[in-house]
Amino acid sequence: MRSSILLLFIATLFFGNLQAQISQNMTLRGHFDVDTLPSASGTTYNEVWGYTDCDSREYAIMGSARYVHFFDLFDLSNPQEIGAFPGGATTIWRDMKTYKDRAYSVCDQCQEGLMIFDLSQLPGTVTKTNQTTEFFKSAHNIFIDEEAGWLFVAGSNANGNGAIILDLNGDPDNPVVIGTPTLPGGYFHDIYVRNKVGYCSHGNNGYYVYNFADPQNPVLLGTLTDYPQSGYNHSSWLSEDGQYAVMADETFNKGLKMLDVSNLSDIKVTDVFRSKLLAPVDTASIPHNPFIRENYIFISYYHDGVQVFDMSDPHNVQQVAWYDTYPANTNYNGYQGCWGVYAFLPSGTILGSDMSNGLFVLSLDSIALAPIAHPVNPAPEMALTGDTLICEGESVMLSVDPEVTSLEWYLDGELLEWVDPQIKVQDGGWYTATLHNAYCETQADSVQIQVQIPPEAELSYTDTLACQGGFIQLTSNEALDSWQWYLDGAPIENATEPVWLAGISGQYSVTVELGPCSVSSEAVSISIVEAAIPVLTLVNDTLFSSPAAAYQWFLNGTLVEGATDPFFVPEEDGLYTVEITDENGCEALSDPLEVVLINSVSQALPSGWKIYPNPAVDQLTLDLSGAGDGTYVLYDLVGRKVADGKLFGAKTQIAVSGLNTGIYMLEIQSEGMIWREKVIVGE
């Protein structure tokens, strides 16, 4: 077998000198021919088809007398044969079609049945997955209605006067028969199907159109049996808008027919046209297999190669390009030259197969074809909205290509229920997805989500109250990433350590962070209080302090031992102050009050005098044996008179039930003397 480089070199020598004559608006890009392949009745090669994989890489599939060949067209100048699969027979006729990532092949006048090939591993390899004679042994042609997923078999040995219809939707390697109808037109040589409507070429019986919606009971929609230059009705193809069809009669000196099929009950021929490669000397050309892409007809011609016609005006079709794959012919005797053409590669590359000269890879010079959309592998990238490390209870969004036709999400290899291209996740583990675009499949990138358990936001304290100038120590848990203390909901500047000394009243809280987790504590109310400065009042010769919880008197700044009552009787001149402790434990010092003594005051109670009960609840009894006439006065803690009266003999009673509970000072005056005693009212 020759190398591809040698083949291309020979092809260039063989065709180069005739290029000006054998082509117009088409250029040979690559060629494959092996002179050691077997032939049948002088025919080495037959049909050609194309395929585009999910990476947009293009391939050619060509039949030969014994094999089905698969070629990689990555380098158009050097088609690389990936594999050649023998069917078991040597025959003139083979036909191949593709569906999703499978190729199907049949042959005529053989015993091979149906061969099925897996193309999903291209460009590496092609695998034959099945070869079965369950449905037929030989068939002239097949066609696949891709919308329905049905394979139609034409000209089979098992149903010579009708069709065999196989369903590929279940297991594409093991089709199922869904119809074997007999057709009114009898044997049909070829078929084109779209949306279960089949356009059948019934040879000498003409052209028939059927609705195969019920595959066992098709409905005849229209026929064309009497038309100009009729011959052996071989094959046809439908325009993209479904309004027109091109039809080929495989008969010498018969032109191609442009058909108006918009009304199937009244099919009309709008134009008859043909190749004029040898005109005007010889016009008896023979068309074989036509195809339509956009407004162009691509057809394989025996002797005349690949021909391209512009059908923009279906009443006046014009020849616009050609490439003669068999330039040795000078007349239209016999059946030689181009068998098939394939015009549906997305790139616009055109394939031709010549019965003697093999595979031709061609390009159009001045005709630009729009790319054909086809399934491609979804992009594997997985987008993450958020971080891969999240806090427990939080979530992130994962998303993949939204154009996928279906997908499966996995967490640590386990299938999840989600089927949307975007999902919200909050569990830790490895996430991935299998993405589908029709039959194209991609494994998405894997993303690991880690979940951090949030810390406890501890806030402990020694107390909730402190005196002015003091602090309350607030403490949070350590071994965290960060801390931020707040006062009344606002962050405290530079308060970013686990301990904070609170010296201002307000609501304190702390927000702690560990990894992505941020947790705030409950707020605690802290009070920083200031004791009220006591007020001194001098009543007669007694000093009274405003109320407090505790007292300490000072004379000229020196502590007076034992002077801890709310009142104090000065015994010498000087500056008197009192330091009080309030109910919060806070201390305050009064302003000094200067006292100048005039009379002697305050004797100790004489022996035998009693004041009881002390504390008193309802009444206070003064038992003053031997006392003369006199008076009494009861003062509260701020020196206010709350009761007074005269002494009545040995015993005097003072009603105190209406007084507030507390400490009072009782002053007794008799015979020029003053006595004072602290009494308590209340239990």
The CATH number linked to 514 is: 2.60.40.10
Overall size of the chain counted in residues = 683
Percent of the chain with pLDDT over 70: 96
Clarify whether residues 515 and 551 are in a common domain: no
Clarify whether residues 660 and 517 are in a common domain: no
Clarify whether residues 448 and 465 are in a common domain: no
Clarify whether residues 520 and 565 are in a common domain: no
Give the CA diameter of the chain: 171
Clarify whether residues 326 and 423 are in a common domain: no
Q: How many domains does the chain have?
A: 5
- The half-sphere exposure of 432 on its side-chain side, counting CA atoms within 13 A, is 11
Answer yes or no: is 604 within a domain. no
The model's pTM is 0.73
Model confidence at 17: pLDDT above 60: no
**Range in 166-170, 361-365, 527-531 the model is least confident about:** 527-531
Clarify whether residues 404 and 551 are in a common domain: no
| Domain, as residue range, for 585 | 536-595
CA dihedral (52, 178, 130, 151) in degrees, to 10, reads -30
pLDDT mean over 389-415: 95
- When comparing pLDDT for 3 and 417, which is higher? 417
Answer yes or no: is 246 within a domain. yes
Clarify whether residues 232 and 310 are in a common domain: yes
pLDDT mean over 265-294: 94
Clarify whether residues 37 and 103 are in a common domain: yes
Answer yes or no: is 494 within a domain. yes
Percent of the chain with pLDDT over 90: 83
Clarify whether residues 503 and 548 are in a common domain: no
pLDDT mean over 83-97: 97
Give every CB contact of residue 430 below 8 A, 6+ residues apart in sequence: 411, 412, 413, 446, 447, 448
Model confidence at 325: pLDDT above 50: yes
pLDDT tens digits, 179-229? 999 999 999 999 999 999 999 999 999 999 999 999 999 999 999 999 999
Answer yes or no: is 377 within a domain. no
Clarify whether residues 397 and 482 are in a common domain: no
Model confidence at 324: pLDDT above 80: yes
20 — pLDDT class (breaks 50, 70, 90): very low
Model confidence at 490: pLDDT above 90: yes
pLDDT mean over 394-411: 95
Judge contact between 233 and 206, C-beta under 8 A.
yes
Answer yes or no: is 191 within a domain. yes
Separation CA 390–CA 407 (nearest Å): 25
Q: What residue spans of 42-88 are helical by DSSP H? A: none
- b/e for 270-287, b at 16 or more Cβ within 10 A? ebebbbebbeeebeebbb
pLDDT mean over 147-162: 97
Answer yes or no: is 177 within a domain. yes
Which CATH number characterizes residue 13's domain? 2.130.10.10
Vertex 500 angle, CA 498 and 501, to 5°: 155
Clarify whether residues 273 and 229 are in a common domain: yes
**Range in 113-122, 351-360, 372-381, 537-546 the model is least confident about:** 537-546
Clarify whether residues 210 and 328 are in a common domain: yes
Answer yes or no: is 376 within a domain. no
Answer yes or no: is 369 within a domain. no
Separation CA 202–CA 220 (nearest Å): 13
What local confidence, expressed as pLDDT, does residue 676 receive?
86
pLDDT tens digits, 577-628? 999 999 999 999 999 988 876 554 456 788 888 999 999 999 999 888 877 7
Model confidence at 35: pLDDT above 80: yes
